[in-house]
Structure 1
Amino acid sequence: MMVPSTRSVGVLALGAAQLFTGALAGVQSCPIDSQLSCHSTSSGTCCYNSPGGLLLQTQFWDTNPATGPSDSWTIHGLWPDNCDGTYESSCDPSREYSNITAILQSQGRTELLDYMQTYWKDYQGDDEGFWSHEWNKHGTCINTIEPDCYANYYPQEEVGDFFQKTVDLFKGLDTYKALSAAGITPSSSTTYQLSDIQSAISAAHGGHEVRLGCNNGELNEVWYFFNVKGNAITGEYVATDTVTDSSCPSSGIKYLPKN
């Protein structure tokens, strides 16, 4: 794998204690010289993401039915990948939950919840089920946010941190804006080249390639890949290239409007 650039995504400080206060996160602090994930044969620790050393911030563009704002992509999730396109899933049944809304409310994360209700949408309308699926399948497999990695841990603290971190990353990855800046806008008649779409989005990702997803020739998904220095909450996210091939054709790609 190519060594990624030093471009990083800013980290928003998260809550400590039962009520979310915006103070420093409760995860254990990591040394400044922590290793970059996927760049060592070391086993996972609270300061080294492994085996899921790649973290993917994934997004949807749903048009049938139209989901989320007409001028924004929506959140799919935050996924750990084993640095090679493979991944683990549903890693801890004891920490699977079906009440994400209640968990976030109990932590005082109402602003986060409001944002998710706009930008983290299920195309079938079951947001709660979608959020639970993303945590249960992917969140439980991020080793650096396991309960033992917290100081003064309280139950479900890592759940709130997972959703906050995903939202923070999403806010810095405006796919709609990146495409629009290159003249690629939703249209019922115009089609686009894969290389042009890739170039536009890569320009907003430190020059690194993303994974683009299409369904019947219609653009509907993008995956941004990162290595992480430190833990998944307070660590430095460093952009890197996709390890998964696009599912879009090379030309004639539709980018339909959300009507």
Structure 2
Amino acid sequence: MMELKLSMVVKLLWIHCLAIVCTSQDFDFFYFVQQTQWPGAYCDSKQSCCYPSTGKPASDFSIHGLWPNYKDGSYPSNCDPGSNFDPSKISNLTQRLQRDWPTLACPSGDGLQFWAHEWSKHGTCSESILNQNEYFSTALNLKERVNLLQILGDSGIQPNGDLYSLESVKDAIKGGIGYDAWIQCNTDTSGNSQLYQVYICLDASGSNFTDCPIFPHGKCRHNIEFPSF
């Protein structure tokens, strides 16, 4: 009888440990991507843009996403199809999301489809440490910590349509946050390379900035335009 009870305890402990392993995070770091999309670069391209139904966004960098990644350059996605985006879970964040995480895709929208996509594709892969509300609030708080427009402005880099060296942009951001960032460029309707998105890395907790283990592929020209918006 004692052996049977001991066996049951061992099995229960094994199941408990297995559950912990299965629900632990399965990624190495986060990319915090601010389009940290520059809206001027998004709109000044052949794909064009549509302002959100809530109105024209501010002339500021906006959030594209908070993306779990692996050190080999790959990334998990759509980790939990059963975890549906629920607007009621982020109702306390709606105004901040509309301001700092707007959609510029066409046709014009209120942002819900964009946020649902980011949660389903990326957020569900960090669900072991960030629930739905925490995922979005973490990204919003990170944007407050990293005021890219001010960081670049302090180095004389302004969204005025002028050309700036890629290295000066990188140096300005590193001087502002203490870590290297990866710059993504796109091409405007005249064929100019322009500042589009900035990738900043965080550790797997989503709390601390860190050196990026790997950068995405692609490159900008030596001189890039910082378009107005």
Report the TM-score range of the alignment, normalised by the length of the smaller protein.
0.7 to 0.9
Residue 198 (structure 1) aligns with: 170
Q: TM-score, normalised by structure 1?
A: 0.66
1:131 is aligned to 115
Deviation per residue, 1:116-143 (Å, 9 max, x gap):
1111111023311000000000000115
Which of 46, 69, 74 is equivalent to 2:58? 69
Deviations 1:93-132, CA, capped at 9 Å, x for gaps: 00022x42x3323xxx2xx221111111110233110000
**Selected match of 1:160 from 123, 129, 133:** 133
**Contact 1:55–1:79 (CA under 8 A) maintained in structure 2:** yes
Alignment match of 2:153 (pick from 177, 180, 197): 180
Equivalent residue number for residue 252 of structure 1: 223
Equivalence for 2:211:
240
Distance, in Å, in 1 between the alignment partners of 2:22 and 2:183 is 29
SS at structure 1 position matched to 2:82: helix
CA distance in 1, matches of 2:22, 2:29: 13
Report whether the alignment pairs 1:222 with 2:193. no
Residues 211 and 242 in structure 1, CA contact (< 8 A), matched pair in contact too: no
Gaps of 5+ in 1: 1-42, 147-157
Is this contact kept in 1: 2:71–2:213, CA < 8 A?
no
The answer for the alignment partner of 1:56 in structure 2 is 31
Q: 2:66 aligns with which of 73, 78, 87?
A: 78
Asked if residue 104 in structure 1 is aligned to residue 52 in structure 2, the reply is no
Structure 1 residue 187: Cα displacement: 1.8
How big is the shift at 1:245? 4.3
Letter in 2 for 1:76: H
Gaps in structure 2 of 5+ consecutive residues: 1-20, 44-48, 188-192
Quote the Cα distance in structure 1 between the aligned partners of 2:148 and 2:217. 16
Q: Flag the structure with higher helix content.
A: 2
CA contact (8 A) 1:213 1:246 kept: no
The structural deviation recorded for 1:45 is 6.1
Which string of whole-angstrom CA distances, capped at 9 and with x for unpartnered residues, describes residues 143-175 of structure 1?
5337xxxxxxxxxxx111111111111110111
Q: Report the RMSD for the aligned CA atoms in angstroms.
A: 2.1
The offset of 1:202, in angstroms, is 1.3
TM-score (norm 2): 0.74
Between the aligned partners of 1:172 and 1:210, the Cα distance in structure 2 is 15
